Structure 1
């Protein structure tokens, strides 16, 4: 039995509790109760979440033990002070735990408890600079969705905490179980920790269904010839009309949007590490491995090999 303790502070970001489903369904997939989850707070009893709903917790004390601690953040860490008792508890229990995770701005709690000195960490992109400023001896890498540095885990915005939890499942139970859990949760794909917080697929957000359908087609056919002519046919528009409407809705030319989608998909595949660079280049529409490398250096400032090593 692996005991997971969720340490919640007043006004905790309610989405943190969503990560409990990852462990719940790991038990379902594994067909045994591997993970046991308990919510704790410094005083116990009901504690208020960011949306006002309350959660029942057990009182955390010096005798409280867990193999993994998941420390929740709050919506705005610049306007909140964690109590001395809470920090003492986090610091004391982290020493006896297998790992301690700061979910989103929970990284601030870990930093205040003195657990992040010299560590590689991440947090929500909106507060990464604040974390750097307040804790200059912490190595904040703001463009990662989660980071595992020894016994310390940290995640970006709270949807990334789901990926962190899946990363823990993979460490404990292997990749096959983690992938099955992701499918049960209907996650679009399981992201590696090194993936960027900023998704081109979110930034390219057209207003009309016609252009959205075209983008969906492009994402599903990156290995093909995604010319303006072909995309215009999908949208049932002339090439001139399509280019004009596409630019007005996305701020990009069709060619530039396709390039961004290809780079992001290739980056995800490189970080996952399941395929050779030759296969990745072919599947995402690059001429060959050399072309993929040239584009990565020009657009990302890093080679695919370096990115894969970092993700591992």
Structure 2
């Protein structure tokens, strides 16, 4: 194996050690001599690998200590030539965003590619694998997944610029671009109060912690403190369509008889509206967040998510992370539009 491949392999091995937490931020890594003996490589090869890590800002030399892992990484100053969008599944919601993002990125000559997250691999490991292949810009939609905060920090230290889309992740190492969930719930509650019949019930996902659903449910509790909140198991739309009949007869009736329903997302809104119409139930007004293609046909009043504004803000976040040495993480809450049908 030639020297070029050896020093790249060593660079990757040391990055793996940092990613796994063997070498923590602010702590020293083994000396050049120790690494040479540990990996059976020449000092020249080791020196080249360390030089590359230093160039990338992953390590820096500290007098009296040696090479230490960067304690703080604000952003990776690079280019936007390649952007990875990582998500567990290419569902309708994400596809709508992806269409807009590709247009905006393409106008700046950035290559965008979609990575569907495997059920057999942690999303953290997928991101690290992309980093080893030179991908430093990632947009992430977690959906129902959870990403360990410590790995967000390690990925940032290793030189990855991160933007979470639709996910209110609290971290100083990534930007967040999400819907203004409080405005969405407020707008829909006022619409249902004016046009529907009481009582108003909220229908959301059973597992609310990883996504904006938690914010939406909290906002509804604040707006309508005496209203009931109902949950549907966390499954995809196929499950919702198949089991919505059971939800109607076992949950809505006879225990609850709401006059109006506010749905946490478009998949639930469309599936529930279809099921109610199928059973001839026309006296319940349904509204939801998300303007999916079927919503207009039903018809269903929605709070539409501004995908074009999301896409622009996500791209601008990456551009700032690539160009500003004093970047600091921010959360951008973007208002949508109430569409009455």
TM over 0.5: no
Which of 1 and 2 has higher RCO (CA within 8 Å, sep 6+)?
A: 2
- Normalised TM-score (structure 1): 0.31
Larger Rg: 2
- More strand as a share of residues: 2
